[in-house]
Structure 1
Amino acid sequence: MNLESVYKEAGAYLEGHFLLSSGNHSQFYLQSAKVLEDPALAGKLANELFSVIKNAGISFESVCSPALGGILAGYELARAGNKRFIFTERVDGQMTLRRGFEVKKGEKFIICEDVITTGGSAVESAKIIESLGGEVVGYAALASRGFCKMVGGLENPAPNAKLPSDKPFFALGEFGFAMFTPDECPLCKSGSKAIKPGSRGN
């Protein structure tokens, strides 16, 4: 499966001037919601992602995703593997587990996002799971923005990558988009104003 083609055909591969959740700017943005609005396509992607994880010999019992962007991808991955699904969410800026969700001691989790850039939100979710006695055995996403070390992909993570080096990260494709701080952004210097298409503050 050519993930870039999937995103482009769904109108989810955006070009412009975007403000990312990290505060950085980019000329490109992956709007996974446009891909996941098609249940058949979402299921197909999740089935493939589950196969990648299973073929790597990683066994897990449950999937946890950070809200909001990761929920559909994580739920579909759980469905593909017939696993349990829960999600974390931010309350007053802090990641937390709510809605009656519980974590069993020793329960093995995959943390799943739609797109992982530096992995900050995924790591926040993992810390919640681990604080409640669960075990995070890996990370997964439909797409990687090319900052974190991915199984079968990027070998050397970027300096700002936050995923732990001792846990595997699985994704269906890797997109090496450049990111810029607002002060260094060439698009800003040309007079363009960044827009925020993602889930936070929008």
Structure 2
Amino acid sequence: MTKSAARARLFEIIRDRSFGYGEITLASGRKSNFYFNLKPTMCHPEGAALLAELTYDALRDDTLDYVGGLEMGAVPLAGALAQLSWLKNHPIAAFFVRKKPKEHGARLAVEGLAKGETLEGKRIVIVEDVTTTGGSAVKALEAVREAGGEVVLVFTMVDRDEGAAETFAKAGVAFRSLYKAGEFLKG
């Protein structure tokens, strides 16, 4: 499948499984009359494969060591991308950042790293399913920076175009997306 055919097919899956109209309160606290819930797409066999493939294609020239982000949205994306990167002989390891460190066990904020493994000095992309203002991804970005990692990019599947680009520009991090919300609002 060509990249444009894959992008068109993924658009259909997101539109059918993950996009809708109706009043909703977003993670940012804002109200909206449309929403994206990408979990049904990320958990769909073809949707997961296409998300990983298109994200891998978008990131493969960025010389990355790790991909990760804030739970829950980043977890399936980072895992699928790590697996695909291994199959393509260009491994990018995955991790995720807890919204709140566990109150038992190792009490880690960053999960998925083996004992002795760190993000120190590593090039990292933060991934997110849907981005509105960027607040959720900033939490992951801050945790990675605290761990000594270098966030080189925030990459989202759908940018709602409601301030995230400005948020990441202020944070000094590049921001890109697979889709813009406006693409789904046209039809």
TM-score tier by shorter-chain length is: 0.7 to 0.9
Instruction: Give the helix-richer structure, 1 or 2.
Output: 2
Give every structure 1 segment of 4 or more consecutive aligned residues whose post-TM-superposition deviation is greater than 3 Å.
98-102
**1:68 and 2:68 equivalent?**
no
Alpha-carbon distance in 2 for matches of 1:89, 1:164: 24
SS of the counterpart of 2:20? strand
User: For the residues of structure 1 that align with 2:69 and 2:24, how far apart are their CA atoms?
Assistant: 23
Please tell me whether residue 146 in structure 1 is matched to residue 161 in structure 2: yes
Partner SS, residue 163 of structure 1: helix
* Offset, 1:69: 1.9
How far does residue 116 in structure 1 lie from its aligned partner after superposition?
Answer: 1.3
Q: Within 5 A, what are the aligned runs for 1:73-84?
A: 73-81=77-85, 82-84=91-93
Residue type at the aligned position of 1:125: A
Does 2:134 align with 1:125? no
2:20 is matched with 14
Give the percent of matched residue pairs that are identical in Structure 1 and Structure 2: 24
User: Which one has more relative contact order, counting CA pairs under 8 Å at least 6 apart?
Assistant: 1
The alpha-carbon distance between structure 1 residues 100 and 107, as it changes in their structure 2 partners (threshold 3 A), is closer
Question: 2:58 & 2:75 partners in 1: Cα distance?
Answer: 19
Partner residue of 2:58 out of 37, 44, 52: 52
Kept in 2, the 8 Å contact 1:36–1:73? The answer is yes
For normalisation by structure 2, the TM-score amounts to: 0.76
Aligned-CA RMSD value: 2.5
